[in-house]
Structure 1
Amino acid sequence: MAKSKYVLTEKQIIKRIKDGRGTGRVSNYKPWLYVNEVPSEGRSQRVYSHLTGRIHHVLSDLEFAVFLLLDYNSAVTDIREQFPLNRDDTLRISKDGQLWHPSQGGVNLVMSSDFLVNSTSKNQPKFAIQAKYSEALKDPRTIEKLEIERRYWQLKKIPFFLVTEKEIDKVVVSNIEWLYGVKGYFDEIITDELLLLFENMKAYFGRYPNRKVVDICKEYDNAYEQELGKSLYDMRLMCAARLITFDIRYPFHSLKAKSIAFRSVSLHEGFTYVAN
């Protein structure tokens, strides 16, 4: 039977370390895991961050929700996803605590935390997060892995948090589901047409900061004699491309124009640019 592409050999682990996986900061950081290298719990995605100026790799809807909350938090200065834990340390913790250490094919795997976050907070300038669905917490091996991870960060004197879907507000989930309705979401592709539309809508919305976004969209459709709902769909495309951002904790359909941010566009921000 052929070996799964997700099973790492010792040689591959060494190569990833040499390639700088898990090192760097902000735009130069390289995650230990990329979305095409590991099976995901649901929808794995590549998503651009204006905060870090790079593409992030998240492996589930839950991770994506946590990422968006971090990315919009003004106190956060860096987000490093799929952050590897020093294997010698986790093996030592596992042995001392008689805990099961993850392995495959006789190879001790490198464990990772979903996020290592830096912030301007004096109380928590750095903290680690593991995002797990509550159903997974019924698995004894998952619990042992989490305990190794908790002890690891305790030794590093860095706060560690476990987040489940129960801690994610339903509004956040609803916004994510709404955004997922866009075809090609997270392709990071910006076309000339989308850029032109972005500039036009940015100017139009800037005139009405205190009006609701959905009302402005209806007026925009009428003003440009286009099908009702088209401008709202176009805004979803721009949100998908991260040209427009908003606080994911609030329902998009209730937001006013001043509550959404039309970002400054740079073709060197990590997007794939396609000229029409």
Structure 2
Amino acid sequence: MAKKQYWNSEAKNKRWIKEGRGQGTGSDYKPWLTVRDVPSEGRSHRVFGHITQRTHHLLSDIELATFFLLQWRQTTTDIREQFPLDRALTLQISQQLGIAHPNSHNVDQYMSSDFVVDADEKGRPRIVIQVKSKDDFSKPRTIEKLEIERSYWREKEVPFFLVTENQVPTTVFENINLLYNHIGSSFDLEELAVYFNLFLKQLYQQDNLRIVDLCIQLDSAYGHEPGESLYQMKRLLALRYFHFDISIPFIKLRCADLTAESIEAWEEGWRVSN
């Protein structure tokens, strides 16, 4: 949820800009902040996105939930997370508003928006989303920085939205907690590929069967310990080998609800990000 304090020196800012951070689109975009740069008070996530074909850096469960909902939105064409704002403009706006600009160690810091989202929608091809815990709104400084950000995007004539846990369906968080406890700190790509291909074949043959029932069948057919297939399926879902509507309760998912990612694209994206 809330992010811990961090700061950049001017030397680091220049290095990040030279690296191309905050630049590009689609698979070429590099976020201004990564999970390594900003320690999170909650869970941070690196997730391969099937729309952009790159790994996204998400700094909280709320960001992860928002990202999944954006990915499932049929009109979404690009998602750029941790997007830096033009510092010259945020400095100008903060002066106009009479609000102190974010500054640390006498260095004016770059502000960022959590998501810049492009969509195939007439009249609203781009929106910006800032994700906050509802508890953050009790902090006066948070409100001040949000006002700078809101004014920034108003100046750009881009719609700006705030998202808290109140806007995210409870089922989404339940699915995230259910799946993301199964990733682990390391995994065998060859083993995952074997299970991916096994499930892929079954999904097409039994499209109306619930995923949990399919896993029971596979445990019995292959002599696995009870629950082994379900464990592997949760790992594959968490690692985005398969995509599904995150707002559907896991227990209700059927084979037809899953869409397979290209395993070659996933593995390439994972190797690049690591």
Deviation at 1:54, TM superposition (A): 0.7
Deviation at 1:97, TM superposition (A): 0.8
Q: Match of 1:30? A: 30
Q: Which runs of 5+ in 1 are unaligned?
A: none
Deviation at 1:5, TM superposition (A): 9.8
Q: Match of 1:156? A: 156
Q: Does the 8 A contact of 2:22 with 2:29 survive in 1?
A: yes
Q: Match of 1:54? A: 54
Deviation at 1:18, TM superposition (A): 2.1
CA distance in 2, matches of 1:233, 1:253: 13
CA distance in 1, matches of 2:99, 2:6: 23
Q: Does the 8 A contact of 2:183 with 2:238 survive in 1?
A: no
Aligned residues: 268
CA distance in 2, matches of 1:24, 1:113: 15
CA distance in 2, matches of 1:108, 1:192: 47
- AA of the residue aligned to 2:259: A
Q: Match of 1:12? A: 12
Deviation at 1:78, TM superposition (A): 0.5
Cα deviation per residue 1:3-59 (whole Å; 9 max; x = unaligned)? x99321112112212221110000100111111111224111111111111111111
Q: Match of 2:66? A: 66
CA distance in 2, matches of 1:135, 1:248: 24
Aligned residue among 193, 208, 213 for 2:191 = 193
For structure 1, which segment, 256-265 or 189-198, has the greater mean C-alpha deviation from structure 2 after superposition?
189-198
Report the secondary structure of 1:269's partner residue: helix
- Where do 4+ consecutive residues of structure 1 move more than 2 Å? 4-7
CA distance in 2, matches of 1:132, 1:100: 20
TM-score scaled to structure 1, two decimals? Answer: 0.93
CA distance in 2, matches of 1:115, 1:153: 12
Aligned residue among 192, 215, 218 for 2:216 = 218
CA distance in 2, matches of 1:55, 1:264: 14
Q: Match of 1:202? A: 200
Deviation at 1:164, TM superposition (A): 0.6
- AA of the residue aligned to 2:127: F
Q: Match of 2:176? A: 176
Q: Does the 8 A contact of 2:183 with 2:239 survive in 1?
A: no
Deviation at 1:223, TM superposition (A): 1.2
Q: Does the 8 A contact of 1:21 with 1:30 survive in 2?
A: yes
Q: Does the 8 A contact of 1:53 with 1:269 survive in 2?
A: no
CA distance in 1, matches of 2:41, 2:82: 14
Q: Match of 1:140? A: 140
- AA of the residue aligned to 1:83: F
Report the secondary structure of 2:31's partner residue: coil
Q: Match of 2:263? A: 265
Q: Which runs of 5+ in 2 are unaligned?
A: none
Percent sequence identity over aligned pairs: 44
Report the secondary structure of 2:269's partner residue: coil
Deviation at 1:224, TM superposition (A): 1.2
Alignment of 1:71-82 (within 5 A): 71-82=71-82
CA RMSD of aligned residues (A): 1.7
Deviation at 1:190, TM superposition (A): 5.3
Q: Does the 8 A contact of 2:7 with 2:109 survive in 1?
A: no
Report the secondary structure of 1:206's partner residue: helix
CA distance in 2, matches of 1:165, 1:197: 33
- AA of the residue aligned to 1:73: R
CA distance in 2, matches of 1:60, 1:81: 12
